[in-house]
Amino acid sequence: MNRAPDDAHRHARALLDPVHYDYFAGGAGREVALDENERAFRRLALLPRVLRGAASRDTAVTLLGDRSRMPVLVAPTAFHRLAHPEGELATARAAAAAGTVLIASMAATTAIGEITAAARSVRPEAAVWFQLYLQPEPEVTGALVRRAEEAGCTALVVTVDSPVRGRHGRDERHGFHDLPPGLAAENMRDLPGTAPGGAAVRPIAMSSALSWEHVRRLRATTPLPVLLKGVLHPEDARRAVAEGVDGLVVSNHGGRQLDAAPATVEALPRIVEAVAGRLPVLLDGGVRTGCDVAVALALGATAVAVGRPVVWGLAADGERGVRDVLEWFRSDFDQALALCGGARPADLTADLVVRRGGVGS
Ligand code: FNR
């Protein structure tokens, strides 16, 4: 049975330690951005086209050379072993089986080389991208990039919305600050600059000193395409194009960073306009149904990514649970595409999207 993300969420909530549940579910501040991500999709409607004679459909998209069976990727989320003992290995196998791209978090509890190996054990051509927080020391960033390259990752997703760590009220209330014994951010193990006899796992640093110069330096040191994740201002999108970045992810970090950030689907049109087709634009935040996927694509996203739904699937039923959630997204998107009269993702155009609650809007 394909379990809808909502069912997976209910199961996950019942199964997880409440402290860990709140870590995954929670957002920053008063959780306005978190709530709005989902709510903003509900304020939008789709005007279906009829009688278009679209006899067969294809939901696949190609992103920076990687083919995905559906325009729904796995967003990078930390600490999968808190959700299920098999952690990122289960997620990687499920994403590969579903034929989609996994964006593996730098804060994974499994090393990137093991994640790509798990994905390829299911499907040799499975695509895994590596999410990177640029570290203040260039040699540390460099070592992480080498690890991602050696693991066979095909793109780097640099998260730029975290000059400081988000303040998560739920974690503060629970006093949840560290992984339990036995779990660690494995990509951070044995990096340069780790003092002999010191802690083998470096903490992930957030730095407000990062600038476009760091992105330039990164691009000079790797042949991999570089996407920036967490861009919401159209001027930053234009700058990214000028800097030669390869793609953008419109994201507010699932409402976990700036609580006053807009819902991502509301920020999307201006980013799409600024980019004017020069880069693929992805979106994450609050995508819960195939209709949400269709709305985002109609507004100009090339694809979306889902964070919490994948974690809920993982907590509910491991690899099987993630696979169910991803397959459900594929079939629910296929259904929405058909009902809109489309044959392929590109058939979803901006004229299909209207606001709810307004006549003639
Ligand atoms: C995240 N996100 C995230 N982003 C990132 O770049 N690196 C990371 O390590 C994490 N970790 C993380 C942990 C958890 C528990 C969550 C919920 C989110 C943000 C993530 O990539 C994505 O932007 C959001 O999750 C998308 O929103 P939805 O789909 O969860 O609503």
Candidates 40, 64, 184; CA nearest to 127 is 64
Is residue 361 scored above 90 in pLDDT? no
CB atoms within 10 A of CB 346: 10
For 61-96, write each residue's pLDDT tens digit: 999 999 999 999 999 999 999 999 999 999 999 999
Atom in ligand 1 nearest the alpha carbon of residue 285? 27
Taking only the tens place, the pLDDT of each residue in 285-326 is: 999 999 999 999 999 999 999 999 999 999 999 999 999 999
Rounded CA gap, 126 and 205, in Å? 30
Reduced to 3 states, what is the DSSP secondary structure of residue 152?
A: coil
Q: pLDDT confidence of 1, banded at 50, 70, 90?
A: very low
Average model confidence (pLDDT) across the chain? 96
Question: What SS3 state is found at 284?
Answer: strand
**Residue 352: helix, strand or coil by DSSP?**
helix
The active-site residue out of 9, 84, 214, 253 is 253
Average pLDDT over residues 36-54: 97
Question: What's the CA-to-centroid distance between 288 and ligand 1, angstroms?
Answer: 14
**Rounded CA separation 89/31 (Å):** 30
Task: Inform me whether the pLDDT recorded for 2 exceeds 70.
Answer: no
Nearest to residue 297, comparing CAs of 244, 259, 334? 334
222-281 residue pLDDT tens: 999 999 999 999 999 999 999 999 999 999 999 999 999 999 999 999 999 999 999 999
Ligand 1 atom closest to residue 288's alpha carbon, by position in its atom list: 29
On whether the CB atoms of residues 237 and 275 are closer than 8 A, the answer is yes
- CB-ligand 1 contact for 286 (6 Å cutoff): yes
Q: Which residue has the tokens 């970090």?
A: 253
pLDDT for res 31: 98
Whether the predicted pLDDT of 196 surpasses 80? no
Closest atom of ligand 1 to 286 CA is 31
Contact 268 CB / ligand 1 (< 6 Å): no
ipTM of model = 1.00
Quick count: other Cβ atoms within 10 Å of Cβ 114?
Answer: 16
257 lines ligand 1 (CB under 6 A): no
Residue 107 has pLDDT above 80, yes or no: yes
Q: How far is CA 73 from CA 20, 100, 261, 283, in A?
A: 23, 6, 22, 10
Taking the centre of ligand 1 as the mean of its atom positions, its distance from the CA of residue 267, in whole angstroms, is 17
Q: Give me 99's structure tokens.
A: 């034929």
Nearest CA to ligand 1 atom 3: 77
Q: In the annotation, is 253 catalytic?
A: yes
- 82 in Cβ contact with 183 (< 8 Å): yes
Task: Note whether 90 and 323 are within 8 A (CB).
Answer: no
What is the token pair recorded at 65? 């050379």
Ligand 1, atom 24: closest residue by C-alpha: 254
Q: What is the 76 CA–ligand 1 centroid distance (Å)?
A: 6
CA-CA distance, 247 to 264, in Å (whole number)?
Answer: 16
- Percentage of the chain beyond pLDDT 90 is 95
Residue, of 361 and 89, whose pLDDT is higher = 89
Cα angle 4, 9, 14 (rounded to 5 degrees) comes to 135
Rounded mean pLDDT of 108-137? 98
Minimal-distance CA residue to ligand 1 atom 11 = 77
User: Which amino acid appears at position 54 of this protein?
Assistant: A
- The predicted model scores a pTM of 0.98
Is residue 194 over pLDDT 80?
A: no
Residue with tokens 């193990």: 189
What separation in Å is there between the alpha carbon of 339 and the centre of ligand 1?
30
* Distance from residue 223's CA to the centre of ligand 1 (Å): 26
**Helix segments in the chain, DSSP class H:** 5-15, 18-25, 32-42, 87-98, 112-122, 138-151, 169-174, 212-221, 234-243, 264-275, 290-298, 308-339
